[in-house]
Amino acid sequence: MEETRWIDPELIFPILALFGVVILAAGLLLVWVLWRVRRIELPVGADFWQTLRATPFVVVLLLDLLDLGLDFLSAPIAWVVLSRLGLLPLRPVTVVESVIPGTQFLPMMTVAWVIARFFK
């Protein structure tokens, strides 16, 4: 009887290499964001969409890279980054997106950012 495998052994190294590159890029981008992007002052009671409009693109790119490279493990890192930048309304959405299985390949925060910017 033939053994059933979940993943082809020949694909393991390229997949791990991809995730390693993504995690390295996210780490470098994280350092750059925390160094260059200062705390963002939002109006009192700002909602998700207002906050997203005030957020630089590099921040949502960072959140999506973290989600791609670390999947659900990115939630605590995203929570701390968003707290430090003063983007508190984005925290719950980022955490929910991080814990939903299979969404790491979809750049949800980037898509939401584009919608917030161009389809007010």
Q: How many Cβ atoms are within 10 Å of 93's Cβ, its own excluded?
A: 18
Average pLDDT, the chain: 88
Its pTM stands at 0.82
Sign of CA dihedral 105, 106, 109, 111: positive
25's CB contacts (< 8 A; 6+ apart) are: 65, 69
CA distance 17 to 63: 20
| pLDDT surpasses 80 at 115 | yes
List pLDDT tens digits, range 62-73: 999 999 888 888
pLDDT of residue 53: 93
Distance CA 112, CA 31 (A): 23
pLDDT digits (tens, 9 = 90+) for 74-103: 899 999 999 999 999 999 988 888 888 778
